[in-house]
Structure 1
Amino acid sequence: MKLLRYIFFPIVPIYYAITWLRNKGFDLGVLSSKSYNFPVICVGNLSVGGTGKTPMIEYLIRLLKHDYKVATLSRGYKRKSDGFQLGNAQANADVLGDEPFQFYSKFKDDITVAVDANRQEGIAKLCELNPQPEVILLDDAYQHRKVQAGFNILLTTYSDLYPNDFMLPTGNLREPKSGANRAQLIVVTKCPEGISESEKLHIVNAINPKLHQQVFFSWVSYAKQVVSKQNTLLLEQLPEFTLITGIANPKPLFQFLIEKDLRFKHLNFKDHHHFTSEELQQFESLDLIVTTEKDYMRLMQYPQLASKLYYLSIEAVIDRSSVFNAAVQNFVAQY
């Protein structure tokens, strides 16, 4: 795979030119973009792969849900439904996609969860609801320039910072690095919890934020227990198990479990993987399964796994959280 990426290096300037011209078209108003008279917050990244968008959306939900009617709007990647869909009692991962269904499962009493590949149409449909959302969180919509979010939060991972990356197909960047200029907040995600001030300064210098931007650092906090539909087990109580992952980067989770001295085998699949009947049959023969919360959303629908299927939840922790929170809350309070 890496060899192919280097072979395709001559395509990089072409992809760069196309995405740069598209962005310039939106910046100059040649291509139309719709803005809104209520707060729309976009969470996204410049790169493909997992940068921690789901934990960030959940962080924002927790921050805002007590004071505002919050809605999330996602594409619903790899769902089996079409068009605009709302989270409701009949919804599952096939209807909403695994990540939006995770939002619905955790926050259904407090927020509205919707999916639509066309973000403009999705926002319009949300505005028809009664009551209408007061804040809309756009999940993974940084490149959806037809919607002009009032506030952009750009994520980049500690181990793969966008200033050090290349454009597709050789690197992982979806658009030129200059696209970062649209963000008000830049969050370096998945940092080691003990990241030093000198390393933070080095990263900030590499990012070189504009005057309108602030840079923050975050890390993942893992739960102390795994949860099933009917049971909870502390991590230290876990017998030998099988870890099943279908996420972009399972390495941090794998390392966390290793550091806990837990005994497990690891079955790793591609991000958003739809499990086949043969794979599910293999899972049935396992004694205990631990998975991510996102993967659990896809696996929970199979009753044959219910007694052995557990998930480990995570939350984003943000350094200087009071400053970060104030920036978001001040934006929302303007409306």
Structure 2
Amino acid sequence: MKLLRILLFPFAVLYGFITSIRNFLFDKGILKSTSFDIPVIAVGNLSVGGTGKTPQIEYLIRLLSDKYKIATLSRGYKRKSEGFVLADATSNAEILGDEPFQFYQKFPNVQVAVDANRTNGITQLLSQKIKPQIILLDDAYQHRKVKAGFYILLTSYDDLYADDFMLPTGNLRESRSGASRAKIVIVTKCPKNLSDEKQSEIWKKLKLSSSQQLYFTFIDYDDAIYGKDEKIAVNEIRNESKLLLAGIAKPTPFFDYLKNENDECLTFPDHHHFSEKDLEMIQNKAQNKKIITTEKDYVRLKDSKLISQLYYLPIKSTFINNKQNFDATILEYLDKCLITLES
């Protein structure tokens, strides 16, 4: 695979040239970007693969939802519906996609919508009887047809965009210069004990401007797993024989947090839709053991035949330091926007 990526280098150069031209046309206003009268915060990344967008969106929801009316807008990756869909009691993971459905399940007071056309999605949200005050755009960093008021760029500690290259040789969707659109850059999935020296080294490597802010977060795992009607402490099941199941981009930390030498780990592609054959195979391997999966996978599996032995492990994004500065920056941006709208 590595050799193939090297051989595809000319296509990576071509792809980089095309995306750079596209960005230039948007930057100069030749291609149209639509702005909206309400605050729009876009969270995304330069690369393909898991950088922790879902826990970061959830962090923002927790930060803001007590004070503002929030809506999230996602593409709804691999959903079986089309166009604009606003989540309601009839929604499921097939209609919304797994991550938006997870938002809907966890945050009932937040409007959750999906639309590949983000401009249309925002327009539709603003036409609802109850209008949001703030829209969080999930995975929309390259969606230049909408001009967000505030961009948050995520990059994984073990896969920094500064060390990467354009697709298909690397994993970048656009060149590293695209990071300049971000007000905030967050290095995600860091070690909890990341030193100040290492943080400074990464700052220099990313070559951010003086107006950009850099933060570091780690994935914080819950101390309990959750089933349909049950909560069990992780310490109680850590040494128990179990089946660990993940259909996410980078499952190794999830497995490492829970597994012991007697556990079996099953990996599926990111956003995998589990077939009846998959469910039978999982059930046969698990026998009567507990099946523990990620929260994102659980929303796709909770209505399946596995539910009686199925549990999930919640995660959240936690700042290593300067959390108060991050919160204050977001709240200050929103307060200024809303004051301007009211005046």
Task: Tell me the TM-score range normalised by the shorter chain.
Answer: over 0.9
Secondary structure of 2:244's counterpart equals strand
In 2, Cα distance between the equivalents of 1:257 and 1:234? 11
Q: Deviations over 1:139-189 (max 9, x none)?
A: 000000000000000000000000110100000000010000000000000
The equivalent of 1:334 in structure 2 is 336
The equivalent of 1:68 in structure 2 is 68
Q: Look up the equivalent residue of 2:336 and give its one-letter code.
A: Q
The equivalent of 1:225 in structure 2 is 224
Pairing of 1:1-335 with structure 2 (within 5 A): 1-108=1-108, 110-238=109-237, 239-258=240-259, 261=260, 263-285=262-284, 286=286, 287=288, 288-302=290-304, 304-318=305-319, 319-335=321-337
Q: Look up the equivalent residue of 1:223 and give its one-letter code.
A: D
Q: Deviations over 1:176-232 (max 9, x none)?
A: 100000000000000000000000000001011112200000001100010011111
In 2, Cα distance between the equivalents of 1:308 and 1:6? 44
In 2, Cα distance between the equivalents of 1:294 and 1:262? 25
Deviation at 1:263, TM superposition (A): 4.2
Deviation at 1:255, TM superposition (A): 2.0
In 2, Cα distance between the equivalents of 1:256 and 1:159? 17
Deviation at 1:3, TM superposition (A): 2.3
Q: Deviations over 1:265-286 (max 9, x none)?
A: 1000110011121111122332
In 1, Cα distance between the equivalents of 2:180 and 2:262? 45
Q: Look up the equivalent residue of 1:120 and give its one-letter code.
A: T
In 1, Cα distance between the equivalents of 2:143 and 2:192? 32
Deviation at 1:305, TM superposition (A): 1.1
In 2, Cα distance between the equivalents of 1:18 and 1:2? 23
Secondary structure of 2:266's counterpart equals strand
Secondary structure of 2:210's counterpart equals coil
TM-score by length of 1: 0.97
Q: Deviations over 1:115-146 (max 9, x none)?
A: 00000000000001121000000000000000
Residue ranges of structure 1 left out of the alignment (5+ in a row): none
Q: Alignment identity in percent?
A: 51
Secondary structure of 1:334's counterpart equals helix
Q: Which moved more, 1:150-159 or 1:248-257?
A: 248-257
In 2, Cα distance between the equivalents of 1:329 and 1:130? 25
In 2, Cα distance between the equivalents of 1:145 and 1:129? 24
The equivalent of 2:341 in structure 1 is none
Q: Which moved more, 1:226-235 or 1:131-140?
A: 226-235
Deviation at 1:104, TM superposition (A): 0.3
Superposition RMSD in Å: 1.0
In 2, Cα distance between the equivalents of 1:151 and 1:262? 45
In 1, Cα distance between the equivalents of 2:42 and 2:8? 31
In 2, Cα distance between the equivalents of 1:104 and 1:262? 36
Secondary structure of 1:274's counterpart equals coil
TM-score by length of 2: 0.95
Closer/same/farther in 2, CA of residues 111 and 240 from structure 1, 3 Å limit? same
In 1, Cα distance between the equivalents of 2:163 and 2:38? 35
In 1, Cα distance between the equivalents of 2:89 and 2:262? 37
Q: Look up the equivalent residue of 1:256 and give its one-letter code.
A: Y
Secondary structure of 2:308's counterpart equals coil
Closer/same/farther in 2, CA of residues 298 and 9 from structure 1, 3 Å limit? same
Deviation at 1:7, TM superposition (A): 1.5
In 2, Cα distance between the equivalents of 1:251 and 1:294? 15
In 2, Cα distance between the equivalents of 1:289 and 1:66? 34
Q: Deviations over 1:290-317 (max 9, x none)?
A: 0000000111121x21110000000000
